[in-house]
Amino acid sequence: MPPTIAIVGRPNVGKSTLFNRLTATRAALVSDMPGLTRDRREGEAELSGHAVRLVDTAGLEEAAPGSIAARMRAQSEAAIAHADLVLFLLDARDGVMPADAAFARAVRQSGRPVILVANKCEGRAGTDGFYEAFQLGLGEPIAISAEHGEGIADLAEAILAALGLKPKRKGRKGDAADATEESEAAPARSLPVRIAIVGRPNVGKSTLVNAILGEERMITGPEPGLTRDAVATDFDWKGRAVRLFDTAGLRRKARITETAEKLSASDAIRAIRFAEVVVVLIDAEHAFEHQDLTIADMAAEEGRALVIAVNKWDLVADRQRKLKDLRETAEERLAQVSGVPLVAVSALAGQGLDRLMAQVLASYEIWNRRIPTPQLNRWLGEALERHAPPASKGRRVKIRYMTQPSARPPTFVAFTSQPGALPKAYLRYLTNSLRHAFDLPGVPIRFRLRKGANPFAKD
């Protein structure tokens, strides 16, 4: 496992900007607004040939017990406790603030190796702050500008030295052979299943993520909108690699006015696009509100496998009747993904998690399913016999054959004499019949029509 490096410091000193710079991504939200980051975000980086794991943290600040800021600080302290190395950032333009000195003492007391980083040193504005940083007792600071990429090479060199690693040379004779032998010797690693937990604000997404992970990985509380960015966590679920995304709550666009919420909403939507399975979490007491359906439809439009998780199930009295009603509602109002699985859970009590994860992995397998062409065409012949295509302008529309060019989601192409003549109702008939015949519940099905001759026909 690669060494873990925690990036810590006061709010708005550039931690997320440095995280994005080192990981060569835009994974962390960046804004002039202090305190935008609230949860720990992890990412991979490569420094001179060595893989490292970076952890972006919330800003360290004094806070009253039980407050949001106190919970954010607890997450940052947990990151320090699990880190192999700590990067302590300060804003060189502001100089050393009283909070910097207080938190520097806390970092020293942790016993972790520390590198002092003076950020925002571009130009002359940060010169005084750079020299003030010596008084923190964390050694000689490294001057960088995370935004402009200045000093990053020096920082990478210091990180490797602190971890006891040497830069790897490139292009040495025998490197290719060594890499080949290593790759052949190492067992094949399966890619993690990417799962996004999405839903309206305050339905319990972060609580559910914590319950699945078995640790307080995300800050939780009664306040809506605690999660601001989509935080990915890699873990192993019964031998299966999983990457779990906790996302910010999605409200209707008309209600989103604050800059932080706009950034959070766009990050949640991006998580849906990068996910393979989307778990839409709904509140059992207020199930299938308009926004729930909008979010589910968004996931289906993106072609993602869909699972509905009904949270706060421990508060439901007549559970059998409630579950029956919810399934009928899902079938009626989510007809575009007919058969979408619905799982009752209680994130707070940790109930239903095994069933949920089993259903998520089952939906992932369906989403990846491929159907052999001979089976598809046998089904097509039977479907056409049951219900022939309608005529268009006095001419019968002929569907000659079909195939599945891709999965993820299952995508089918039918070759017909008049692609534009088939009504949507008939395409729905074919899609629903296909879903039922090959057991494809809860995943979007792409059904395309093309004009073409039958390649099996004899000249």
pLDDT at 30 over 60: no
213-258 pLDDT tens trace: 888 765 555 555 455 556 778 889 988 999 998 887 776 554 444 5
293 and 273 together in one domain: yes
Written as one string, the DSSP assignment of 428-455 is HHHHHHHHHHTT-TTS--EEEEEE---T
8-state DSSP, 138: S
Residue 277 carries which side chain, given as an amino acid letter? V
Distance CA 443, CA 411 (A): 11
pLDDT, tens digit, 9 for 90 and up, residues 71-117: 666 777 888 888 999 999 999 988 888 888 888 888 888 888 999 99
Q: What is the mean pLDDT of residues 374-390?
A: 94
- CATH number, domain with residue 152: 3.40.50.300
Q: Which helix (H) or strand (E) holds 193?
A: strand 193-199
Is the model's pLDDT at 27 over the cut of 60? no
Residue 313: HSE in the Cβ half-sphere, 13 Å Cα cutoff: 23
Q: What pLDDT does 325 receive?
A: 95
Task: For the beta carbon of residue 225, count every other beta carbon within 10 angstroms.
Answer: 16
Q: What is the structure's pLDDT at 458?
A: 53
| Number of domains the chain contains | 3
Q: Which domain holds residue 77?
A: 4-183
- Tell me: do 262 and 305 sit in the same domain: yes
Query: Does residue 274 share a domain with residue 389?
Result: no
Q: Strand (E) positions, 342-409?
A: 342-344, 391-392, 395-396, 399-406
Tell me, yes or no, whether 326 and 431 share the same domain. Answer: no
CATH code, 436? 3.30.300.20
- Is 298 in the same domain as 392? no
Which of the two residues, 195 and 122, has the higher pLDDT score?
195
Together in a domain, 81 and 205: no
Q: Measured between alpha carbons, how far is 46 from 53 in angstroms, rounded to an integer?
A: 9
Non-local (6+) Cβ contacts of 357 within 8 A are 212, 237, 238
Given a cut of 60, whether residue 179 has pLDDT beyond it is no
Asked whether the beta carbons of 59 and 228 are under 8 A apart, the reply is no
In a domain, 457, yes or no: no
- Tell me: do 345 and 396 sit in the same domain: no
Exposure string for 29-41, b = 16+ CB within 10 A, e = fewer = bbeeeebbbbbbb
Average pLDDT on 125-143 reads: 87
pLDDT score recorded for residue 365: 96
pTM value is 0.69
| pLDDT tier, 65 (very low <50, low <70, confident <90, very high otherwise) | low
Q: Are residues 175 and 266 in the same domain?
A: no
Same domain, 393 and 352: no
| Cα 104 to Cα 116: distance, rounded to the nearest angstrom | 9
Give, in degrees to the nearest 5, the angle at Cα 196 between 190 and 202: 150
In this structure, are strands 411-416 and 342-344 parallel, antiparallel, or unpaired? unpaired
Q: What is the pLDDT of residue 174?
A: 45
* Predicted confidence (pLDDT) at residue 455 exceeds the cutoff of 80: no
Name the one residue in this structure whose structure tokens are 């710079």.
Answer: 21
Residue type, 33: M
pLDDT grade, residue 262 (50/70/90)?
low
What pLDDT, on a 0 to 100 scale, did the predictor assign at position 84?
Answer: 93
Q: How far is CA 31 from CA 66, 92, 126, 234, in A?
A: 26, 18, 20, 26
pLDDT tens-place string over residues 394-405: 788 889 899 999
pLDDT at position 144 is 92
Instruction: Note the pLDDT tens digit of each residue in 296-322.
Output: 999 999 999 999 999 999 999 999 999
